Amino acid sequence: MHQYVKGAATMSDYRFLKWQSFDDGRIVRISLNRPDQRNAQNRGMLVELDEAFGAAEADDNVRVVILAGEGKMFSSGHDIGSKQAISEYLPGPDQHPSASINGGSREGAEKCMLQEWHYFFQNTLRWRNLRKITIAQVHGDVFSAGLMLMWACDLIVGSDDVRFADVVGTRLGMCGMEYFGHPWEFGPRKAKELMLTGDAIDIHEAHRLGMVSKVFTRDELAERTLDMARRISEVPTMAALLIKESVNQTVDNMGFYNSLQSCFTLHQLNHSHWAQVREDKRATAGPENGVPDWREAPPVVLAVKDQVRSAP
pLDDT digits 0-9 by tens, 208-221: 999 999 999 999 99
157 contacts 221 by C-beta, under 8 angstroms? yes
Determine how many CB atoms are found less than 10 A away from the CB of residue 308: 7
66 contacts 27 by C-beta, under 8 angstroms? yes
173 contacts 290 by C-beta, under 8 angstroms? yes
Least Cα distance to 150 among 118, 99, 186 occurs for 186
**What are the CA-CA distances from residue 151 to residues 35, 52, 59, 73, 179 (Å)?**
21, 17, 23, 16, 9
Q: Where are the beta strands (DSSP E) in 33-159?
A: 64-69, 133-138, 141-143, 155-159
What is the pLDDT, as a whole number, of residue 12?
A: 65
What is the pLDDT, as a whole number, of residue 9?
A: 38
- Weakly modelled stretches of the chain, pLDDT under 50: 1-10
pTM value is 0.95
Domain spans of the chain?
Answer: 17-296
What is the pLDDT, as a whole number, of residue 126?
A: 98
State the architecture of 17-296 in CATH terms. Answer: Alpha-Beta Complex (3.90)
